[in-house]
Structure 1
Amino acid sequence: LVAAAVGYCGGYNFQHKEKITNGADSHTEWYFVHGGNDNPQNSGNAAKALREMGIRAVFRQLDGYGHTDIWDGQGHPDMTIVNDCRDDYVNWLRAIRHKTMELPAKDKEFMGRFEKSADSLLGNKATYLNLQRIGSVPAQPAIVLGLQSKNAGIRATAAESCLHASYGKAAADELARLAHDENDRVAATSLTALGVYANWHYPEALDALCGVVAGEKGESSKGPSAGERLLAVDGLAKAMRLAAHGNFEDKKVWWTLVRALDDDDVKIRASAFAALQRANKDPFGYVAGAVPAQRKDAVAKWTAWVTSKCGPAPEKEAK
């Protein structure tokens, strides 16, 4: 029984080609690390194949690295990038737990309580520590109940629990909805949790954050506030922190960050620029505080850069 798998370099050949029903919440997740100088497409294509089956996968390409230095850091100034990847996949592993292994009797009994006493249980913060310990899909039904609660405090506490555990697609869908909650605390906590899920490559989280940055209203009557949009940019920035070392597969995210360079809000512009600088040290003369006319040439250069990395903007590609 395997809870999750971490692959360093290597080659992969996943034989199954058809979409798996509920694959993301029923099958082993993968985390790939591959040097940019060592045929990174081996892991990149493997991650793509898994996602096409409906299985979640994380792919980290480290440009400037080869076959063994992705593990030992030999030949590089320090171990920062190597250790960042290790820390990231350890947190990822701890958050996933096990999806299919039968729960111990005491945990089955605990989860069974939610059928009759959900409201009282979800109002107790100790409940969420227990749910985080159980983790993943087995704890998902209770977390979803919390995220759907009529009580804003419970919704916020359930969203906060998602910072520490990967509860699956249903939880990610609820977080995406709550990003537009009328309660400020619920919306802010949900956006922060979506940043964590985006780092674990939940497509629902990536799409939701891009939508908030773009100003989409969702179920809200007012649309995202400036602070909520900034939280969404920060979430994308954190999710792309390791991707910035060489992986540009999430084109919608990178295009969202580049478009934010011309946003009306200087804080949004500055946060997006800081995220992009991790991937490209050349600022192209961009200054977040400059007026639109002064930003024009630099934004054009950033647009050319993102096109070279990701291809045309998603909506242009769809036409």
Structure 2
Amino acid sequence: MFLLITILLALTIGAVCLKLLSQYNRHTRPLSYECPVRMDGKTILITGANSGIGKETAIGLVSLGAKVIMACRNLEKAEATAEEICRQTGVDPNQVVIVQLDTSDLESVRNCSRKIHATESRLDVLINNAGIDTGHIELSKQGYEYTFAANHVGHFLLTHLLLDWLKKSHPSRIINVSSLRHQGVSKTLSFSRAPKPGSDMYYPGLFGYDTSKLAQIFHTNILSKQLQGQDVVANSMHPGFVSSGIWYKDAYRKSVTMLLRLFGFLSSIIGRTPKDAAQTVIYMAADPDLENVSGQYFENVAISDQLSPFAKDPEMAKNMWDVSMEMCGLTKKTE
């Protein structure tokens, strides 16, 4: 009994110390943002808005008067979240709309775009937030690595298909929720289309969470240049080290699941809450001073200089853009 009490006490003290240290860490400290303006009359689409950062972003923007479209894979969870948001904020239920979207499936992306064009008269902000990390290689319906497809390819196509609505609603904004983990890519990427022997995966050099987050930054950088003078801005961001189930909810082996659940437990102690992480996204979506800011990388409710050298490589960005166009069945190349 004494040993058990000693262990529990040590764990408690350790947890408290970790939590105190997290208050001073750049990636875990609490954040806040008070928007100086309302967003009445604005329509905002958030992918993956039924939980985590997406949900908290939706709450924040609905509270500012915006109409929020929750684009989610699981409609049942999305409906429950929408009801919770309406109860919590007291807004009219018509201010929170749900549309089905599985970003790993390009046909689902196209169906989502058709729905938006058919039902919405404007789109002021597109927040590409949905993210996943399976921890293993599996294929999307189009034959791409699942994590890369869900995090980057689907959002790339969705942005392309909704650009006309964003341009029509100008001034408008595009926000790609990336990650510091883009720095995990430390070698030049292969853009070869052909599968490796014994594999059915197209573009075998484009896989995994780190690569998908780097691709989102490349997408942002080129998009911001292409949209110059059109009153549409594009920026990316790092939400911080967030207490979230993303790292273990899709693990495929029990041993991996247990290890990642331990990681999830530690993140719940030292990690930033989804509400804190959402503050930077809300700032990027709503702050009037950012109306003409484009091609930037944000964190901690500010512009950041923490991009990796690879993220600043214009040639690799161009290659990623062109291959992404091919993966989405589009033909226009960068000029």
Normalised to the residue count of structure 2, the TM-score between the two structures is: 0.31
Greater strand share, 1 or 2?
2
Greater helix share, 1 or 2?
1
